Copies of this chain bind each other. A is one copy, B any other.
Amino acid sequence: MKILKVNDLISIKRSVEAGTSEQQAAVKTIIADVRTRGDEAIRELTEKFDQVQLSSFSVTEQEIEEAYGKVSEEFVAIVREAAANIRSFHEKQLRPSWMTTEENGTILGQKIIPLDSVGVYVPGGTAAYPSSVLMNVLPAKVAGVKRIVMVSPPDRQGCMPAAVLVAAKEAGVEEIYKVGGAQAIAALAYGTESIASVDKITGPGNIFVALAKREVYGDVDIDMIAGPSEIAILADETALADEVAADLLSQAEHDPRACSVLVTPSMALAEAVSAEVEKQLTVLPRREIAERSIADYGAIYVTADLEEAVEVVNQLAPEHLEVITADAMELLGKIRHAGAIFIGRYSSEPVGDYFAGPNHVLPTNGTARFSSPLNVDDFQKKSSVIVYSKKAFMENAEKIAAFARMEGLEAHARAVESRLKND
């Protein structure tokens, strides 16, 4: 692994996949087709892309029951425990509507309520990601969203992975459709005969899904267009090289464009981790992916001291940050930009991916400077509430009218004055 000085600091920003113009055109065509022909278009596109003919897209109760038969009891138990942890962490984010009352009768406040409906996209393909189901569905559930719809592409037998169906059931999803790709996003955004539209779409997907989300954004809300995953590890000489290396590789195995960085004032640790990474790489099942990621986007930065190391981390604004130093907790106050912060050697990043409770949907590509992990706020919205009494109004009407006139908005001033005239 490359060992660099801080003045060689490379941005972790990688260009967001914009897709080819062919892909963009294909997505636009699919969306227009679904808007025009609804279910018929979905049926044809599913046959074309997923190579299966479906009479109904809806997953039945029986299919879900059968899914439970296909997974181990141990798996169900782990999913339940993880779901309980995730639910508990997100419940603590709930905020009540609030109001203030003033003596002159004014009431001001924020009415905070859940979105009506949310759609969660779950990617298909070779692997199943039940953790993604939990992390996307549970915050919406906790927020109080009444209608949560899950969509995911079917395999050639017209089935979905059992693990995904079990996770959906455990998370409380009651509406699941076997539809994937841009056609699924179009159905969620605009509705078809059998799939009613939703207000917000979340969840990861391939380039077609990402392009479709970007295309429907505005008509519905979306979570984000996530980039490849990142980890930065801030460590001193007390860290164990094999653990640090293993954590770097756990990020690298996701994607050849994933980014794994160690920042340390210790040259000894840097060299030991570099050697460990090479060693552990050789026996990794997803070696090819991890190797490319480490070669292209991996780096070890050696800093003058811990303070400079923290500054490097803030400049990177990584998705995941592990802090493995003698006084890790004390550094927490200095860290300004990171999606999730894992403190101490027992807070290995996979602890957060699956189990601890905080969300694993995190801001990538340096956007931790201004974005947050997926959370309950993302599934609620606020309305301002303004109640002016006659007294409050009379006290302030002339000032408000004067302000409006100053901005050249006479009708605003007259709207206020119409009350004065009538009273």
Bound complex: CA A421 to CA B54 (Å): 49
Answer whether residue A310 sits at the interface, using C-beta atoms and an 8 A cutoff. no
A78 cross-chain contacts in B, Cβ below 8 A = 399, 402-403
Closest approach, in angstroms, between the C-beta of A191 and any C-beta of chain B?
A: 14
* Docked CA distance A344–B356 (Å): 47
With A108-B357, A356-B386, A411-B252 as known contacts, state yes or no: A381 contacts B404, CB within 8 Å. no
Please choose the segment from A1-9, A28-36, A128-136, A296-304 that sits at the chain B interface, where 4 or more of its residues have CB less than 8 A away.
A128-136
B92:A411 contact, CB within 8 angstroms: no
Contact of A386 among B16, B358, B372, B402 (CB under 8 A): B358
Contact with B along A186-208 (1 / 0, CB 8 A): 00000000000001100000000
Which of the segments A169-177, A261-269, A347-355 contacts the partner chain? A347-355
**CB of A250 within 8 Å of the partner chain:** yes
Which of A41-49, A60-68, A147-155, A389-397 forms part of the interface with chain B?
A389-397
Q: Is the interface of A mostly helix, strand, loop or mixed?
A: mixed
Q: Nearest CB to that of A163 among chain B residues?
A: B406
Give chain A interface residues in 321-377, CB to chain B under 8 Å. Answer: 329, 332, 335-359, 362, 365, 367-373, 375, 377
- Cα–Cα distance between A62 and B199 once the two chains are bound (Å): 50
Q: Using A346-B390, A386-B343, A386-B358 as known contacts, say yes or no to A414 and B352 having CB atoms under 8 A apart.
A: no
- B16 with A422: CB separation less than 8 A: no
Q: Is the CB of B355 within 8 A of A383?
A: no
Contact yes or no, B415 A250, CB < 8 A: yes
Of A108, A127, A358, A406, most buried by chain B (CB within 10 Å of CB) is: A406
Given A350-B413, A369-B116, A370-B199, A387:B100 Cβ within 8 A: no
> Does A70 make an interface contact (CB < 8 A)?
no
With known contacts A243-B418, A243-B419, A383–B368 Cβ distance under 8 A: yes
**Chain B residues positioned under 8 Å from A351 (CB to CB):** 386, 388, 393, 396, 400, 416
User: Contacts A250-B409, A356-B108 given: A399-B341 contact, CB under 8 Å?
Assistant: no
B130 pairs with A355, CB closer than 8 A = no
Instruction: Tell me which of A220, A359, A411 has the highest count of chain B C-beta atoms within 10 A of its own C-beta.
Output: A411
Q: List 28 A-B contacts (CB under 8 A).
A: A78-B399, A82-B403, A89-B100, A111-B341, A116-B369, A128-B406, A130-B406, A131-B407, A221-B370, A243-B415, A249-B415, A250-B412, A253-B409, A340-B383, A341-B383, A343-B387, A344-B388, A346-B390, A346-B392, A347-B386, A347-B387, A349-B412, A350-B400, A354-B404, A358-B386, A368-B383, A371-B381, A372-B381
The 10 closest A-B pairs by CB, nearest first: A358-B384, A346-B393, A372-B382, A221-B370, A340-B384, A253-B411, A250-B415, A246-B415, A246-B418, A350-B412
Measured CB to CB, the residues of A under 8 A from B are 16, 74-75, 78-79, 81-82, 89, 92-93, 95, 98, 100, 106-108, 110-111, 113, 115-116, 126-131, 163, 199-200, 218, 220-221, 225, 240, 242-243, 246-247, 249-250, 252-254, 280, 284-286, 290, 329, 332, 335-359, 362, 365, 367-373, 375, 377, 381-390, 392-393, 396, 399-404, 406-416, 418-419, 421-422
